[in-house]
Amino acid sequence: MAEPAIDARGLVAGYGETVVLEDVSLALAQGESVSLIGRNGVGKSTLLATLMGQTSLHRGTIRSGGRAIEGLATHRRARTGLGYVPQEREVFPSLTVVENLEVAARAAPGAPRRWNAAAVFELFPQLAERRAHRGNHLSGGEQQMLAIGRALMGNPQVLLMDEPTEGLAPVIVAQLTAALRRLRDAERLAILLVEQNTRVALGFSPRVVVMNRGRIVYDGPGEALAADRTRLDALIGVGGG
């Protein structure tokens, strides 16, 4: 039986002595997509940051592909097969699109080198047209495509994505979700998607996890949650996107 792509157990974590996550456990199978939703400030982004080693972990374990990684620095976790797309995108403003991609090029030990600049441009043709432009000359949607492409250049087995559609026009949201579906279905990447747009989240992943006050309060089929509007509103608030 294959090891989970991510297996986090009993996480108590936050920033310094401030605890945000309270006994959070979450496993993601190889090739599985999971949408993580909840109100603002409940710990969704903190969970992704904790998986990447960017918070203070007070208790708990994290395994990636069967390997314990909770003691590893962020860059070493990336080398185990984790790709991270932060909410702020964090593209290098003075580098061109190509340079932003090439600086992130690597493969996890033993993993195939699937992703290069050409493959990213095939996934996002709009980036190919902008390949010589610097990061600070791109639109918000183009920066988001570049952030995803940069994560793919590490040839990950898992993508951790924090609010990829935030603030983007509907046409760009449609382009991004189509690309994510391809990564899920054709590339078989495991994807943990933090998404404030409930419609996007429920439509993307068969399994949905809801957080509230630093804890997981629902972990199950997205279809069942979508059909129970009363419960959905109680968990995330009315008008969740």
Q: Which tens digits make up the pLDDT trace of 187-238? A: 999 999 999 899 999 999 999 999 999 999 999 999 999 999 999 999 987 4
Express each pLDDT in 122-134 by its tens digit: 999 999 999 999 9
**Average pLDDT in the 57-66 region?**
95
Contact 219, 48 (CB under 8 A): no
β-bridge mates for residue 212, sequence order: 215
Query: Coil, helix or strand for 90?
Result: coil
Strand arrangement, sheet containing 33-37: 82-85, 158-162, 190-194, 33-37, 207-212, 215-221
β-bridge mates for residue 192, sequence order: 34, 160
> What distance in Å separates the CA atoms of residue 221 and residue 214, rounded to the nearest whole number?
21
